[in-house]
Structure 1
Amino acid sequence: MFRSLRTRNYRLFAAGQVVSNTGTWMQRVAQDWLVLDLAHGSGTALGVTTGLQFLPLLLFGLWGGVVADRYPKRRVLMITQIAMGALALVLGVLAVTGTAQVWHVYVLAFGLGLATVVDNPTRQSFVIEMVGRRDLPNAIALNSATFNGARLLGPAVAGVLIAVLGTGPVFLVNAASFGAVLFGLYAMRQDELHPAAPVKRARGQLREGLRYVRGRRDLLLVLVLVGFVATFGMNFQMTTALVARQVFHTGASSFGLASSMLALGALIGALLAARRATRPRLRLLLSGALLFGVLEVATGLMPTYWSFLVLLVPTGIALMTFTTAANATMQLSVAPEMRGRVMGLYMFVFLGTNPLGAPAVGWMAEQFGPRLSIVLGGVVAVLTTLAVGVLAVPRESIRPALARVRRPRTAEGG
């Protein structure tokens, strides 16, 4: 289950990610709560904040993959981590001094999104340079496990700190947590990495990457499925805040608990994926997406806070099964010199579509209630999965089936 950890460079990377991701999840909870306080509980303001954080991925996400292919990934990651830490520090100072305003959060969220444009595809494509192709599925699953382990711990700690100290100290803790990633990257042994040859700067490299994906029907279907599920079904960080506050009338600590329950399911799903750690098949990808959609609908209909919490666990398992399978499918199916650009496109679809979905989901939650926004996301996930499943069936296997259906009718008509 943990064979990727036998690689020293990956151990350093994973350890830094545990610390930094915990701080990041603490900040996400604190940021949402700060916006709700400053905007007097406005779901629209919360949706705008989420949208602005992911808007740079929509505008510039594809260029992040070009950067990942052109420059040494380890060096690029050090730069992006420093930028993210500085943004968290500024927001912490504003919150601690009581001078924070909603527009401050908007600007800093957009700045964080700009750093993420480059960080995400670089970090995703750097994993194979640490562990190689054989251990890549296992490493992707372990990355998800560390991410969701932090997601399990971070919101719960953040909820307590917000209740006791306020949001400001949470941002400062996150700023300090980036030091762990920087230390891990600095301490790596360069001669033990397996870097892909940097792509020389040239015109048309972005278009080249898009043409490559356009010519791969299997990759296109994965991107379509990921895009719809991410846009409409994966706004849990926003909707759970609204459900906790408006439906069940609870405080920050209860919101943190809800986020942790979803993360618990995601952590279990990631560990199951790490144990399996084989090249994923389309059936697994579709099954995970379909189950996630059904469970999301059921979660939105839960009548009590505790039943809502319980159902978040299997929902998280299904979501992680789907996302780890999609990530590994994309990375293992592409040429090394294209991996940065393909993962840039993948992260563009996976995260960059949030500016389109988050404000709409926030507005819908404000007008019709948070439950409806969750149910709608699940319905979209189910319908998209069924459509992609039909499109993924090879045409060669459809034609004989249609012929068998038509023959009896022909005979009867004669």
Structure 2
Amino acid sequence: MTPSLTPAPPARATMWSPLAYHVFRAVWIASLASNVGTWMQNVAGVWLVTTLTTSALLVALMQTATSLPAFLLSLPGGALADLADRRKLLLGTQGFMAVVATLLGALTLGGQVSAFGVLGFTFLLGMGSALNGPVWQTVTTELVPRPVLPFAITLNGVSNNIARAIGPALGGVVIAYYSPGWVFMLNGVSFLGTFAVIYFWKRDAEESQGPAEHFLGALRAGMRYVHYAPPIHAVLVRVFAFGFGASAMWALLSVVIARKLHLSAGHYGSMLSWLGAGAVAGAFLMGRAGERISLNQRVLLGGLTFVGTNLSLAFIENTAVLGPIMFVSGTAWLMAMTSFSTTVQLNVPKWVQARVVSIYMLLFQAGMSLGSLAWGELADYFSPQVALCAAAGWMAASALLAFPYPLKAADNLDLDPAEPWLDPPVADGPADPDDGPVVVMITYRIDPADWAAFQPVANRLSRLRLRDGALRAGVFADLADPARITEFFTVATWGEHLRQHHRFTRDDQAVEEQVRQYHRDPEPPRVAHFLAFPTAINVPVEVAAPYPNVELTH
């Protein structure tokens, strides 16, 4: 298989458009089988711990054991996904999770596992998932074109939720008639399909994006990008708040079924199936209403729905009523999560995409982990009803975040590399990629009468420069010649500066062109590079074209 994007993007994409791309289709089918195994594993693991211990806290910690590895490893996993061959990384993570699930199944069938043992193996599976998550989400951008990407992301959510509808029911049947150990064994087998599809995927070789990044430098670049990207701030704040409050349902659902309603694993699986079915229905609902409901409105509606979900679990005891409520909750869950993921992936260029996704996943899993711990502790100290009511209050309060932190669409962004900036500067003398720091100075002629208009545009561009790698930046006026404005920025190494040329996008270039409109000279702005050598300091290398990644601040 090859990641060809033929056929051409349709004039009007629909929910089915991504399945026209054969590699995406194969990956989607394989991931569906793997997701079924994962949900069977989740049901079996939670139910096994519920039967092995009387502590609601230990049961709630199953969610923490799943989420905490993402908190610890998502960011390193994102850096690896941007630096390493994504195909090889996927093969490694899928193989690791297959081995862990199979080993847990063998120990369970042999009667050699305890509640803490299940938590430990769940943590190991969470580690594999944490390293797999960023690369798995970002690989979708290689399989479908940008106009189809929102629907591909939604279909990925549909895959997970079809599995949520099927997996818990299958897991409950296997538990009832056989043993949770066989569920774990089946989950191990389910990873083989995904492994095979990735193995036969002939991924196109990527063009060099400048000197290779070091691992720690890549981590810093990812965090720096997020720090200077306001659209991502809104996603991170909202997804943490949503995950913290919604985790109460996931953490305490089995406790409500087993301890409050005194029902079996089959009923627990049935409730999860209602959730999955609601999410699948929600995908098609969004396909019809997507243009009329913004991403921000979807998340707000999803959060308010979970207020009702938590209150229903606290007070309703009739499963005939709880089932439809879980159905609506599944729809709300899919609406919120696909809105978060779509916002992240459409607002971030490819070079840093996996790292930003990993930070997004880290905040989401942090919210889920801390929320599960908090609601579980509250349920043990008071009661599950009190914990669920508190979670409902949290979700109601967090709905107010929709106003200061709205999610913004990225329909008009052009995040392809800015072609004029792909040719890096050439030094007259020797310059190793690890040499540095580098100081870049750009001289403009700005009429003092234009300073008031120049300032906001310069500030906007300064954020882009810092976002793409500058450590410090500034703009200075010549006291002897006020129209002579010198802009400077400092980069850690020459290699990092060369990489800036590949990070500058067409959308960024439009901002830079606005700055250049204030340049009052027939010649282009004069650019000089100063590199700190061990034996020679401040050696300039000049280029005639305006420079891409430059910071403008006062």
Q: Judging changes above 3 Å, is the alpha-carbon distance between structure 1 residues 393 and 21 closer, same or farther for their aligned structure 2 residues?
A: closer
Whether 1:64 and 2:77 are equivalent positions in the alignment is yes
Q: Judging changes above 3 Å, is the alpha-carbon distance between structure 1 residues 164 and 184 closer, same or farther for their aligned structure 2 residues?
A: same
Which residue of structure 1 aligns with residue 380 of structure 2?
366
Shift of 1:268: 1.3
Letter in 1 for 2:385: R
Q: Judging changes above 3 Å, is the alpha-carbon distance between structure 1 residues 66 and 183 closer, same or farther for their aligned structure 2 residues?
A: same
- Picking from 237, 241, 244, the partner of 2:250 is 237
Q: Judging changes above 3 Å, is the alpha-carbon distance between structure 1 residues 179 and 235 closer, same or farther for their aligned structure 2 residues?
A: farther
Contact 2:343 2:407 in 1 (8 A): no
Shift of 1:238: 2.6
Q: Judging changes above 3 Å, is the alpha-carbon distance between structure 1 residues 198 and 13 closer, same or farther for their aligned structure 2 residues?
A: farther
Shift of 1:222: 1.5
C-alpha distance in 2 between matches for 1:140 and 1:234: 22
TM alignment of 1:138-177, pairs within 5 A = 138-177=151-190
Deviation sequence 1:19-43 (CA, Å, 0-9, x none) = 110010000000001111221x321
Please identify, of 203-212 and 58-67, the stretch whose mean Cα deviation from structure 2 is larger: 203-212
TM alignment of 1:30-69, pairs within 5 A = 30-39=44-53, 41-69=54-82
Whether 1:109 and 2:122 are equivalent positions in the alignment is yes
C-alpha distance in 1 between matches for 2:210 and 2:67: 27
RMSD, matched Cα: 2.3
Q: Give the structure with higher Rg (CA).
A: 2
Shift of 1:303: 3.9
Letter in 2 for 1:261: W
- Picking from 85, 92, 96, the partner of 2:98 is 85
C-alpha distance in 1 between matches for 2:394 and 2:236: 15
Letter in 2 for 1:245: A
Which residue of structure 2 aligns with residue 119 of structure 1?
132
Contact 1:56 1:114 in 2 (8 A): yes
SS in 2 for 1:92: helix
Whether 1:182 and 2:191 are equivalent positions in the alignment is no
Which residue of structure 2 aligns with residue 134 of structure 1?
147
TM alignment of 1:12-411, pairs within 5 A = 12-39=26-53, 41-191=54-204, 200-202=212-214, 203-274=216-287, 281-300=294-313, 301-392=315-406
Shift of 1:204: 2.6
SS in 2 for 1:98: coil
- What number of residue pairs does the alignment pair up? 392
Letter in 1 for 2:379: A
C-alpha distance in 2 between matches for 1:280 and 1:222: 17
Q: Judging changes above 3 Å, is the alpha-carbon distance between structure 1 residues 238 and 87 closer, same or farther for their aligned structure 2 residues?
A: same
Contact 1:32 1:238 in 2 (8 A): no
Q: Percent identity?
A: 29
C-alpha distance in 2 between matches for 1:198 and 1:303: 61
TM-score calculated relative to the size of structure 1? 0.88
Which residue of structure 1 aligns with residue 505 of structure 2?
none
Letter in 2 for 1:218: P
Contact 1:82 1:178 in 2 (8 A): yes
- Larger proportion of helix: 1
C-alpha distance in 1 between matches for 2:219 and 2:277: 38
Q: Judging changes above 3 Å, is the alpha-carbon distance between structure 1 residues 137 and 111 closer, same or farther for their aligned structure 2 residues?
A: same
TM-score calculated relative to the size of structure 2? 0.67
Contact 2:303 2:396 in 1 (8 A): yes
Shift of 1:227: 0.4
Shift of 1:270: 2.3
Q: Judging changes above 3 Å, is the alpha-carbon distance between structure 1 residues 286 and 362 closer, same or farther for their aligned structure 2 residues?
A: same
Contact 2:231 2:347 in 1 (8 A): no
Shift of 1:391: 4.6
Letter in 1 for 2:43: V
Which residue of structure 2 aligns with residue 10 of structure 1?
24
SS in 1 for 2:146: coil
- Unpaired stretches in structure 2, ≥5 consecutive residues: 1-14, 409-554
C-alpha distance in 2 between matches for 1:381 and 1:188: 42
- Ranked by relative contact order (alpha carbons within 8 Å, sequence separation 6 or more), the top structure is 1
Shift of 1:292: 2.6
Q: Judging changes above 3 Å, is the alpha-carbon distance between structure 1 residues 232 and 317 closer, same or farther for their aligned structure 2 residues?
A: same
